[in-house]
Amino acid sequence: MEMDESINVFGEALIGCGGDPVTGFFRDNKCNTSEQDVGSHTICIEASEQFLEFSRFKGNDLSTPRPEFNFEGIKPGDTWCLCAERWLEAYQGDRAPRVHLRKTHIKALEIVPIEILKKFALDLS
């Protein structure tokens, strides 16, 4: 499986999104992607209770531990590589979590405009 170039929305080297729990399509703690990543797990979020409830309601329960998949569940405050379309859906439902732009892959911009992401950025000065 060939990984796309590891660059962020600013064209810089992509920074790791987390580590606890392990995240990313490649489980490398970066929001790297490839053609095989149909969900585009490219946006590094900081989970909020509001977003986790929204995601569970939409059928993707990220907060319940699933030991059989070596997944301990996400808690508010955890960072996670989220599918760009799910983030956009949460945005449209007024439930979008905050994002780390330097940890978000440039491919996310194919789905979510940078202007919208910047409104939720945790790492802009």
Q: What is the pLDDT of residues 8-43, one digit of tens each?
A: 999 999 999 988 888 999 999 999 999 999 999 999
Whether the full predicted model's pTM is greater than 0.85, yes or no, is yes
Q: What is the DSSP letter of 58?
A: T
Domain CATH code at residue 68: 3.30.56.110
pLDDT band at 125 (very low <50, low <70, confident <90, very high): low
Show the domain range for 109. Answer: 1-125
Q: How many domains does the chain have?
A: 1
Distance CA 59, CA 68 (A): 19
At residue 63, φ and ψ (nearest 5 deg) are -95, -20
